[in-house]
Structure 1
């Protein structure tokens, strides 16, 4: 099972959405394992600082309506379905207030947790039990009307999924998108062209025991080490401490080439390049996890 879990994480990176892949990494780095509560959760103080730095070195938000697989680390780290559901809902709510993403995350989490325990379960059994699960699902502090509208939509779509007609789940939204992935995995495969859904599909197939060539994954060594980290979190072996520091990206501006300093997020870093071009200051730093190229616009 451990190899399936590791591959599920690694294969998520077999897609062309750099932004999504980076979000998976940031969420992984922000996980905290709590052995007493038998829970792995996101440290949001850490995640906020991760995102603060990311704005200076990372990709712009691609605004894809299919961004969902950033919750994968939460799913793979946790063994309790209900506790994981709560953390998935919390994490999605951190990024968006749209209920369709909450329900898509609940569907995805339920399917993944189910096949971790039994990869031979039939899709009909999964969907039948999922419908019962969705009926009981609720949240605190919700817009009850819109929440229930979304729940009804999900139930209708699950019924239509059981008819095994792809044309019944072709709406351009994240719920139909996740169901189309399930259709490809369990009913009739076809080439998924949406990169963010391809990531979900690859993770799901890995848990079912499928294996792919991962040689083309950029930064494979780092991603592979994170997959090992996921397993250790799952066993509560990290004993990660709560993040109590604060990062200011502009502190990097004061550094010169060759300077070595500690950064609360990147740990020990070394400045390997610094240049000003068209009123933009470029600073490249090297850390244990790789190179980061920061950009700062002149005020």
Structure 2
């Protein structure tokens, strides 16, 4: 059984890595293409754009920021926002130059208020299921991105908004943030992965308590429960969680990008199986880094007592 899983994961990891290496420069979000794969991106969403996608440059090259921007709807998840986020996720998935992704809000005081209930109220009953399925698929794809993902929660993250953040590898919350799966207040249940990812994050019993009570907690409580990796005091500009997320992405940036991706794959796959199978998964992922130029560069840099220059090759 372990051998079969090892072969399957090795094959998946190899296909995922080669697909990333083959990815052409994708056009997404707010950008201007220049020669080849070098691009310059504007730093702000244009008026009316519900999602900005920023590829940072200079020392921060490799960091991509998804900024949700629906101020009147508190970033509620609409059909259009699902499509925009899906396109953005698909784009970075194919780009091996991307080292990490930050999901944040450009709307002060809110991360994402959950489903767009005004839009939902206009849907026919037969349309609700397919829409929820699309939102669930988006969040699953976000969770499956090969590079590290960080949710910067500077305000309310409720319902589907919290489910978006749960699909990220790491959550950073302002202490003033409000977080909760509140669906039972509407006589429904979390439908985009919340009933599965929250228990895997904080434990089954605590997850049941929060979901059954539709309880909303702040960033400090989220940190205490293990829902957030870090809780930070909010600043005057309302972006303290984003700034901490950026600092964390900068810590990831210098490391071997293929190694980081393989480490993520090994953890994500291994946590769902027994230890013996998990070790076989780790072995399969380790095999992916052995033939890389980055591994040789790391050894050379250590020998020459200099910082390594990893290229993701």
| Higher relative contact order structure (alpha carbons within 8 Å, sequence separation ≥ 6) | 1
Give 1 or 2: higher helix fraction: 1
